[in-house]
Amino acid sequence: MIQIDVKNQEALSFSRLCSIALTGIKYRIFRSTVTVLVVCVAIAFLMNIISESFIRGKIKDSTTRQLADIRGAAIWATRLSVPGSVEDILSQVDRAETGGLAYSEAKNMGGFSEAEMKAFKARAHEVALYLNYFKNLSYSKRRSLVHNAVGMEIFDNLLAPGAMERFTGALANFKFMRFASSPEKFNDFMKDWPLVKERALRIQASRQRSIGLVSKSLEGKELITALLDMDGPFSAVITSAGFSLDRETAKKVAIQARRMVDSDIIAKSILSESVRKGVSSYFGIAQNAISTDFIFANFPDKEFASWYIKKMNESMPEAAHLTAQRLKELSKFNTHYNKLVTSERNGMDLESGFMGISERMWWLIIVSLLVCTVGICNAILMSVTERFREIATLKCLGALDTSIMTMFVMEAYLIGAVGGFAGALLGSLIGTCRMIAAFGTLTFSGIPVLKMIVFIIIATFLGILLAALASIYPSFKAARLAPMEAMRIE
């Protein structure tokens, strides 16, 4: 009797499987390239949206901080003349850093204990949260929930008998709409709302008294003129009235006030008939083409700046302290300020959804990724169909089902890795270029490099994951193929 020695099948090595996968891609280079492009486009679309959102958000935060710093004198002029609405006060308390000047000022003006102030700040944060939620609702949904009420009216109206029950019932009708918090938390907030409003009104009344003290000390002098002495005697008047002020802020506000006064002098000079005629003659242009921005844009020209100062001094004694160097500084500031204002305007359309991306855009991203997955699945399935004889030959030579399956999954991995990485880089580049076109040089200070690198890596792995998921069915079909059936296929 002949003894037949049947040995166990050997699995192909990882390097061998990679080699076979690369060979399959090489011999089907056109289809593989198209599949890579499908992955690349889907991931590029995703990264373009994400990178734009990140950069826009960073620029918006930076612009807001810079403009708040630049507008310090105007903000203080408003604080020292207008007590602010209840909504304004709650917003300021919400933004105030615990233990900071604004926090301490609100605490002292309201006469709160530390525990009361912390509780008030927590409720102020909830006010901002709920108001933002109602603000971003569509008109039909907001009308169903709170009718035509806006701002603080929403909470006041919900205190009416039966209003809270109607609100809860209307909210329950929107099955797929997520509220800003749980209904229980909102009920607790509404129970405390009268107390929260009373505390805000207390601060408002205290501010009104403080404003009266400051106004009395001015003795008919304009407030912006008084702010020129913010780092001098006027700071003592402000603090004694109950406002919180540190020395560094006082110095900044005094500088900003001087800038505002000087800019106002130049703006008034343009209204002078003699100045307009002189500028018109100097540049040889029509008078209606002369504007504040036009004048500021030409101040870097020292000769024109010196001429303009002489022209102003003929009719405006208050301009005597201005120099050509000062006009150049004001011109540089005006250019930077206009860039910030434009940036702020362009950043106003930043979405309020997850990661600053709207729900609609997220659905578009999901659809594009699904299309990408279907495209990869189709490409791998066609590759399997074309390689029936090759699969049958490998099986006849002893290749395991797992080896066949791994071979096609590996092919999808390679396609997903190349397409994902290329798409992540391309999408980031497109997003950055679009932001440069919208915000100019401000973009370079707003690129979150670390976040971008992290999401490029995540997007690359997402491309690999999509390819892997798309290859499961085709590779399983290839692994389960019977050798004899494959050999019969022409």
- CA R_g for the chain: 34
pLDDT digits (tens, 9 = 90+) for 446-483: 677 888 888 888 888 888 888 888 877 777 776 666 66
CA dist., res. 452 & res. 91, Å (int): 32
pLDDT digits (tens, 9 = 90+) for 234-259: 888 888 888 888 888 889 889 988 99
Mean pLDDT of 247-272: 88
In this predicted structure, the answer to whether residue 1 has a pLDDT above a threshold of 70 is no
In this predicted structure, the answer to whether residue 349 has a pLDDT above a threshold of 70 is no
Which of 376, 279, 294, 367 is CA-nearest to residue 335? 294
- Give the CA diameter of the chain: 127
Q: Looking at residue 139, what is its pLDDT?
A: 82
Collapsing DSSP states into helix, strand and coil, what is residue 172?
A: helix
- Which of 10-19, 117-126, 337-346, 410-419 comes out lowest in average pLDDT? 10-19
The residue whose two tokens read 């280079």 is 29
- Which of 127-131, 273-277, 438-442 comes out lowest in average pLDDT? 438-442
Mean pLDDT of 262-289: 86
In this predicted structure, the answer to whether residue 298 has a pLDDT above a threshold of 80 is yes
CB 42 within 8 A of CB 423: yes
CA dist., res. 259 & res. 331, Å (int): 11
Which of 295, 271, 483, 287 is CA-nearest to residue 398? 483
Distance of CA 46 to the CA centre of its chain: 16
Which helix (H) or strand (E) is 288 found in, with range?
A: none
Q: Looking at residue 14, what is its pLDDT?
A: 63
Crossing angle between the packed helical segments 14-27 and 29-70, to the nearest 10 degrees? 100
User: Which alpha helices (H) appear in 387-400, and where do they start and end?
Assistant: 388-396
Crossing angle between the packed helical segments 449-479 and 29-70, to the nearest 10 degrees? 160
List all residues 6 or more positions away from 215 whose beta carbon is below 8 Å from its beta carbon. Answer: 81
CA dist., res. 356 & res. 348, Å (int): 12
pLDDT digits (tens, 9 = 90+) for 54-89: 888 787 777 878 888 888 888 888 888 988 899 999
Q: Given pLDDT bands bounded at 50, 70 and 90, which one contains residue 119?
A: very high
Token duo for residue 212: 């009266």
List all residues 6 or more positions away from 353 whose beta carbon is below 8 Å from its beta carbon. Answer: 359, 361, 362
CA dist., res. 460 & res. 422, Å (int): 8
Q: Given pLDDT bands bounded at 50, 70 and 90, which one contains residue 7?
A: low
Which amino acid appears at position 327 of this protein?
L
Q: Looking at residue 89, what is its pLDDT?
A: 92
Mean pLDDT of 212-225: 86
CA dist., res. 100 & res. 116, Å (int): 16
Token duo for residue 443: 């973009």
In this predicted structure, the answer to whether residue 180 has a pLDDT above a threshold of 70 is yes
Token duo for residue 249: 């802020």
CA dist., res. 198 & res. 200, Å (int): 5
User: Which alpha helices (H) appear in 71-111, and where do they start and end?
Assistant: 72-79, 86-95, 101-110
Count the neighbouring beta carbons within 10 Å of the beta carbon of residue 156.
14
Report field, pTM of the whole predicted structure over 0.75: no
Mean pLDDT of 294-302: 88
CA dist., res. 411 & res. 421, Å (int): 16
The residue whose two tokens read 């797992």 is 402
Mean pLDDT of 326-343: 85
Token duo for residue 326: 């000062």
Q: Looking at residue 200, what is its pLDDT?
A: 93
In this predicted structure, the answer to whether residue 438 has a pLDDT above a threshold of 90 is no
Which of 347, 356, 379 is CA-nearest to residue 443? 347
List all residues 6 or more positions away from 113 whose beta carbon is below 8 Å from its beta carbon. Answer: none
pLDDT digits (tens, 9 = 90+) for 369-395: 888 888 777 777 777 766 667 666 666
Crossing angle between the packed helical segments 86-95 and 114-135, to the nearest 10 degrees? 110
In this predicted structure, the answer to whether residue 486 has a pLDDT above a threshold of 60 is no
